[in-house]
Amino acid sequence: MSAVTLNNFSKSYGKMSVLSGIDLTINSGEFIALVGPSGCGKSTLLRMIAGLEEITGGNIEIGDRTVTDLAPKDRNIAMVFQSYALYPHLSVRSNMGFSLKLRKVATEKITSAINSASTMLGLDQLLERLPKALSGGQRQRVAMGRAIVRRPDVFLFDEPLSNLDAKLRVQMRSEIKSLHQDIKTTSIYVTHDQIEAMTMADRIVVMNKGNIEQAGAPLDIYDRPESKFVAGFIGSPAMNFFTAEYKPNGSDGFININDECTIPLPKLRTLQQGTVECGIRPEHLSLSKEKKTGHSIKVTVDVVEPTGLATIVYLSFGDQKICFYTSDRPDIGPGDTVYLQLSENKLHLFDVNTGKRLN
Ligand SMILES: Nc1ncnc2c1ncn2[C@@H]1O[C@H](COP(=O)(O)OP(=O)(O)OP(=O)(O)O)[C@@H](O)[C@H]1O
Ligand SMILES: [Mg+2]
């Protein structure tokens, strides 16, 4: 277990900057989920930590060592990729022991490391098989086992579950989480799966265009996104946004979404008055057939998606699309006119120019 510290970590390919001045400390034993849109630099960041990619600027410390100039093999890091990259001609046992053998570790030690990892991962019955005779989930576990036997200071995962079917993903997700609870190796886990990030991580790091937008505990990020980008990126279905006018009102304030919808809220400290981006999550709306209060907007139902567990409804507010999520089964259909009420204490306000949080 070791902390990982990135100081002003940057990467350019020629003139194109891919990562600009990343500063991040990952605590010893922490599990970090790294998320962000495709191309924002997640894999590049992992590869730089592993030493597979040269860095353009900054430095990296693992524990109390500065490893910036060390070769990958000297960093004591293990990486698990989306493609499991197992040696096809080697058995599960040999795949798992390969790196230890290369390092000339004593045979008994290799055997005992393989045995303990294979028991942990439920691979005991499969040790003599070749990778081609394994299912996707089993191969993924071998890739994990190969990483575990090395007892690395840090695990790096680059979308390790994205090749698996939905059910297996859920199973592997909880297996990786419980594994981390057992061995507590500092881990950085790249994923496109929101639920994986929310459920597995101690902290989520949200990246955008080579920068860190926000880092924090999953529910803190969900409840209090610091920018419109994070608000729109974290959460599925995604947050709805409206353009609204903010005005102060004595010691308080209010926003107008249109002439009919006025919502009071605490005074903003950083804005006198003007246009704001107002966000609200689909589950913080409530639907009614009659107009109940002035906190509601009149909308038209486009599509109703019952999932069994919940109902997701897509609606139009003028030419704007809105998503509503409920655990009820509302009796509505396409073309119906209904009202959506906005919970006043669930609004997120953002600066229209900078996208930064205002409330
Ligand atoms: N060898 C390279 N030469 C030039 N540009 C590169 C190279 N490798 C990556 N890039 C660019 O760097 C940017 C970041 O790539 P990276 O693979 O880190 O993204 P990512 O966040 O992992 O995306 P994804 O979610 O799609 O895997 C992309 O714009 C990519 O095109
Ligand atoms: Mg990637």
Report yes or no: 133 and 125 within 8 Å, Cβ to Cβ: no
Per-residue confidence at 283, pLDDT binned at 50, 70, 90? very high
The residue contributing the CA closest to ligand 1 atom 29 is 39
Distance 23 CA to ligand 1 centre (A): 19
CATH level 2 (architecture), domain 240-351: Beta Barrel (2.40)
pLDDT computed for residue 259 by the predictor = 82
**Does the pLDDT of residue 276 top 90, yes or no?**
yes
42 CB within 6 A, ligand 1: yes
**Does the pLDDT of residue 357 top 90, yes or no?**
yes
44 CB within 6 A, ligand 1: yes
Report yes or no: 68 and 55 within 8 Å, Cβ to Cβ: yes
pLDDT computed for residue 225 by the predictor = 98
Angle made by CA atoms 69, 82, 234, in degrees to the nearest 5: 90
349 CB within 6 A, ligand 1: no
By three-state DSSP, how is residue 353 classified? coil
pLDDT computed for residue 13 by the predictor = 94
Q: Compute the average pLDDT of residues 297-316.
A: 97
* Model pLDDT for residues 86-142, shown as the tens digit of each residue: 999 999 999 999 989 998 999 999 999 999 889 888 899 999 999 999 988 889 889
Spatial separation of the C-alpha atoms in residues 227 and 203, rounded to whole Å: 17
* Model pLDDT for residues 6-58, shown as the tens digit of each residue: 999 999 999 999 999 999 999 999 999 999 999 999 999 999 999 999 999 99
Distance 138 CA to ligand 1 centre (A): 29
Superfamily of domain 4-233: P-loop containing nucleotide triphosphate hydrolases (3.40.50.300)
Per-residue confidence at 293, pLDDT binned at 50, 70, 90? confident
Say which ligand is closest to the CA of 158. Answer: 2
Looking at every residue in the chain, the average pLDDT score rounds to 93
The residue contributing the CA closest to ligand 1 atom 24 is 38
* Model pLDDT for residues 151-192, shown as the tens digit of each residue: 899 999 999 888 778 887 888 888 889 889 988 999 999 999
18 CB within 6 A, ligand 1: yes
* Model pLDDT for residues 222-237, shown as the tens digit of each residue: 999 999 999 999 999 9
125 CB within 6 A, ligand 1: no
Residue 210 CB burial class (10 angstroms; 0-12, 13-18, ≥19): buried
Q: Where are the domains of the chain?
A: 4-233, 240-351
Percent of the chain's residues with pLDDT above 70: 100
Spatial separation of the C-alpha atoms in residues 161 and 184, rounded to whole Å: 20
Residue 271 CB burial class (10 angstroms; 0-12, 13-18, ≥19): middle
